[in-house]
Structure 1
């Protein structure tokens, strides 16, 4: 097996190939079923780099064109089935900041109520009971501000900073929160602004 074949195997082991929104899934399934021949892969790589084919090359650079295939994060090698408090926290904050960044500029009364309700639910059902209690205490003195998307983005940043401060972690600059969390783009399918 040449360098191209080894790298293709490594790529398949380390990453999952998944469909992006709007991509023909049959093309992805075909790509998953068919391992390219070494020569075919080498030709494609060399055409893109402009190099002549070198059979002694031990490194091969793979280029995946955007829109054809999506490479997700590497699969955890020693998956134990447990999630650490830190992993859960990071994932939760990513979700909450993304939600805030997508929150409508002029939310309805129901959307404002839903955000407040969601925060209350998180403070009651969060898997880390100590974290849930701490979040509940923060909500008592800092109730959610959801009169606008900007209000929610700023409130979320301030609350996250309160948590980080209590954990001895660095704080975010809230004036840059929109740059950090920005709008989430999944071809409009995840845009809360366009939802009824």
Structure 2
């Protein structure tokens, strides 16, 4: 009878060990995210791309000709209705950097047909139950001219009115070691549980 109870309890121990493992692994492998507001102070336009400067960093923005044409069409047809706009540079260290330009139009300024058209052509979404949001994304990378990193902070490219932009940096677990440090610090908590519930460590 006692042996049967032990056999019944064994799968339960294994289940708990798996749960604890998944919980601590998810905590340890989380990414670190930080945001800061800055300004685009300089901009250089070429036939194929746009180069912007934020602080002391220059970024080259590139998108497909299809995306650029959609952006032009949208701005031509709806610029008068735009309530506000926002720019965001999302840096995913050692992977890629995305530049997103979002436009917001008050939903009550658009009829049902126009909303449907925006959803169909530009994948517009409702934002905070008040705005219709349309976003365009470009690939952003550090700007180099030849073999040297070019600085465009000269009067020729200086904007009369700097443009606010939100910089969001997402640092993955594998690049910071922050998750590993957290796992090591919490070892006194999770190792005894793993041993207690039958997981070999």
Q: TM-score range by the shorter chain?
A: under 0.3
Q: Structure with the greater relative contact order (CA < 8 A, sep ≥ 6): 1 or 2?
A: 2
Scaled by the length of structure 2, the TM-score of the pair is: 0.19
Higher strand share: 2
Higher helix share: 1
